[in-house]
Structure 1
């Protein structure tokens, strides 16, 4: 039932964007997905299972975006690092579950993080695991001299902008810092 599963996850995501998770009702999610409530329970086992699957889906969505950004044509590895950081900030600002996954900051309006419910499923990665996953993806795509470790650093720096946003909504300051880190400016040793 992959189609029903995806429809249910999409309906749960829409419901979560409209109200806090404790107020999301299974009957409403099933109706919005066009399936029976029994199908929802068969697929996820209950609301906690649906919440875990929704959290996992958001983690996958974020990492798919990282892959897309890393594979996009860019002038240099530094531009890719800046793009990953920009993607991280934008994704976290737009999607509360991504923000919680990246920061580890969960509140009562979101589903319970994977591994903390009654019936754990496939756990979503913790914030440090997500940063390492980004690093591994970067290592697979970037040239050896472009240092995948800098990609992890770029994500961690971007997370500082998620946790404590700059006064202006723009990302110019962050992107400037990332260009410094990527070696696109002259350093004291290169003068």
Structure 2
């Protein structure tokens, strides 16, 4: 059974399917979640706090999904292709994730304002984390890169592992940025499904000889 916080976030996200964020009312979110308005304010502090929490959850879910894909027992190139394909699929289905990955926030979406300087910190740990700030697109790319290195070159710390990690970082960034090029493409510009075309491009990018390997 979801917690009150999860129920409120789910209700807010459901409201966004029909209304722009400016039309989403706190009282309606609380009612849809089956909790009091006071509970909502206790959890998030304000509508801006709710927006920050909603977008932070979207970023966390995306990164958890990346980890899940990377945990598959398949060759490294296959896993990077899967991360790229999954990124495009998720971003197409989830406007908030698309905005996080591209930095393009439409009028219908909550554009989280930073917490005010000097404002009292929330008593809810999850909200304190959301209030710190949200990851920029480049930070999400870096987070995917770091998770890829941890998953694909685990448990080694010798010189060879460092070389592999540096090479993998380069390849992973290529894979993610190719995926983001599809995410950023205008609606209708990229045909669906994109899996076969994107897979070919990513596989070519991550299988090519890296600049570092060419120098050795």
* Alignment TM-score > 0.5, same fold: yes
Query: Superposition RMSD on alpha carbons, in Å?
Result: 2.2
Report matched runs for 1:168-183 at 5 Å: 168-171=191-194, 172-183=196-207
Report how many residues are paired.
184
Which residue is 1:97 aligned to?
96
* Structure 1: stretches of 5+ with no match in the other structure: none
Higher mean C-alpha deviation, range 161-170 or range 47-56? 161-170
Tell me the TM-score normalised to structure 2 length.
0.79
Q: Distance in 2 between matches of 1:117 and 1:85?
A: 36
- 1:184 Cα deviation (Å)? 7.4
* Structure 2: stretches of 5+ with no match in the other structure: 120-129, 154-160
Which residue is 2:70 aligned to?
70
Question: Aligned to 2:48, what secondary structure does the other structure show?
Answer: helix
- 1:116 Cα deviation (Å)? 7.4
- 1:173 Cα deviation (Å)? 1.3
- 1:5 Cα deviation (Å)? 0.9
Match of 1:124 among 134, 153, 157: 134
Higher mean C-alpha deviation, range 131-140 or range 17-26? 17-26
Question: Aligned to 1:147, what secondary structure does the other structure show?
Answer: helix
Which residue is 1:47 aligned to?
47
Tell me the TM-score normalised to structure 1 length.
0.88
Report matched runs for 1:140-159 at 5 Å: 140-143=150-153, 144=161, 145=164, 147-159=168-180
Which residue is 2:147 aligned to?
137
Q: Distance in 2 between matches of 1:167 and 1:139?
A: 29
* 1:2-47 Cα distance to aligned partner (Å, 9 max, x none): 8111111111111112221111111110011110011101111111
Q: Distance in 1 between matches of 2:144 and 2:85?
A: 13
Contact 1:93/1:99 (CA < 8 Å) preserved in 2? yes
The answer as to 2:32 corresponding to 1:22 is: no
Q: Distance in 1 between matches of 2:197 and 2:82?
A: 13
Contact 1:66/1:134 (CA < 8 Å) preserved in 2? yes
Contact 1:131/1:155 (CA < 8 Å) preserved in 2? yes
